[in-house]
Amino acid sequence: MSRFIFILGTNWRLSLAEINNILECPPYKGRVTDYSASGAVVEFEQEPIKDKNFDWLMFQLGGTQKIGKLVEFIDLRTFQEAFPKEITSEMTIQSKQRKYIENILKDACYPIFGKIQPIKYFVANSIYGITFQKAYYKTLVQHFLPFLNKEWMKILKEKGAKNALYYRYPEDRINKGTLNPLFPHHFWAYKLFQDHRKELLYVMTEEGIHIGYTINVTNSNEMKKLDENRPYKDVKSSIPPKFAKIMLGLLHLKKPNASNRILDPFCGSGTILLFAHTMGIQTYGMDLEPERIKGTLKNLKWVSKILENPQKINANQYKEGDIANLSSIFKEFSFDGIVSEPYLLPFYRELPRYEQLSPVMEQLVVPSYSKLFSEGSKILKERHRIVVTSPAVETLDGGRYRINIEDIAAEFGCYPVSIYGNSFIAEKSDQDLQLFADKKSLYDDNTEIIRREFHIFEKSTKRD
């Protein structure tokens, strides 16, 4: 089976959830065999995976930064003996194990570069620790990185390269041990897709070091352009593009994209619909504000001009309306998925008090979700999904306030499913890496007061 390295985004648990859900559906059937907070090892059932399929997969993923081909592995004990946390004068074991790693790199040379030609080669070594916060990452940066730079120059020249260069990271970052690996856009800037120019990936897990080379990266600049250059924007009702893509991935759509019909009943400025449209999915939207519906249509028509084979935009698929009337507004349709961010609350500059927040949540937020599930369940196909975010708010005096969305959904025959999907992912011993695979939701922990909580619900007349 083909094995690949996926470099995860900052919210790595959410990235893993997206990957695992996509891996349950053809044509990317597979499983996660190992992971850390920075990367995952994915094994695909289909062999070989074509480059164009990786282009399309990378385009769909919102939480993955890079995909690399896995070529070698070093077990953790061997690696840590070669590069102990504290480098000592006792070099016998270190030298022996480093020699072993040198041979591993030599074996990896041909799978990465092919037959070495008498030309100039360029290598960029990107190291991903178990987490970037662990103390051992400093050892990786200060000792493993120089070792790699030196060894690759030697290996390439011994095998016939005219010259070999490596990417030089800022010295001050190396000294501090706070080095960031190459960003995705460097893949294009340094032409690391060429046969003689490669970014090499070293992803550390509790099992060891997975070695590979980058074959594709996210085009974050393109996502940013789509988000920023669209004609209509509404900051208050806009979700970040990466989250829009992740939520689409969590829908678990099994048929070809063009056969799927999805609905965003709180579409706002149409961010989720815009990215669904770029993937060839049939999109439908609703919002209470007519200006937002007009804006969503403007955005969809604008992005259609950029796409090679755009879906036709039918204005009748985007309607002004109240969530209480959702099923009557779209009564002639049945949907393969409903995906939305219904309510994220006002922007709080300071932590609110629990008693101030409670009436807002109970009078505004809870009714919106109740209507979403009561109405949405009527037009959603059986065994299909509703993917939503809900607001979870840190309070000054009462901890985190979240709504009991699970009970609301269950009242209307929609039940929570594991956010990580049905495929088994082995748990780690490190508490910081534990997933709790049956977990039904995940938070976006990059905000201080209001956090998005991501959920997946499945419509079922009979609860499993």
Share of the chain above pLDDT 90, in %: 70
Is 59 within 8 Å of 242 (Cβ atoms)?
Answer: no
Q: Which amino acid is at 129?
A: G
Distance, in Å, from the CA atom of 211 to the CA atom of 200, rounded to the nearest integer, reads 7
3-state helix, strand, coil in the chain (%, to 5): 40, 25, 35
Lowest mean pLDDT: which of 170-174, 203-207, 232-236, 401-405? 232-236
Lookup: tokens for 359: 């009436």
The per-residue pLDDT of the chain, averaged, comes to 91
Q: Which one has a higher pLDDT value, 298 or 257? A: 298
| CB neighbour class for 208 (10 Å; exposed up to 12, middle 13-18, buried from 19) | middle
Mean local confidence (pLDDT), 283-300: 96
Q: Where are the domains of the chain?
A: 2-218, 222-459
Provide the pLDDT for residue 268: 93
Provide the pLDDT for residue 28: 87
Provide the pLDDT for residue 427: 82
Strand 335-340 to strand 380-394: parallel, antiparallel, or no bridges (unpaired)? parallel
Share of the chain above pLDDT 70, in %: 97
Q: 449: pLDDT confidence band, cut at 50, 70 and 90? A: confident
Query: Domain 2-218 - what CATH class?
Result: alpha beta
pLDDT digits (tens, 9 = 90+) for 6-24: 999 999 999 999 999 999 9
Distance, in Å, from the CA atom of 247 to the CA atom of 272, rounded to the nearest integer, reads 8
Distance of CA 31 to the CA centre of its chain: 15
Query: Does residue 88 surpass a pLDDT of 70?
Result: no
Query: Does residue 89 surpass a pLDDT of 70?
Result: no
Provide the pLDDT for residue 92: 81
pLDDT digits (tens, 9 = 90+) for 132-166: 877 889 999 999 999 999 999 999 999 999 999 99
pLDDT digits (tens, 9 = 90+) for 195-232: 999 999 999 999 999 999 999 999 887 888 888 899 99
**Global confidence as pTM:** 0.94
Distance, in Å, from the CA atom of 426 to the CA atom of 204, rounded to the nearest integer, reads 16
Q: For domain 222-459, which architecture applies?
A: 3-Layer(aba) Sandwich (3.40)
Provide the pLDDT for residue 90: 63
DSSP code at position 237: G
Own/partner contacts of 354-361, CB < 8 Å, gap of 24 or more, are 354/395, 354/396, 354/397, 354/398, 354/401, 357/393, 357/395, 357/401, 358/401, 361/391, 361/393, 361/401, 361/403
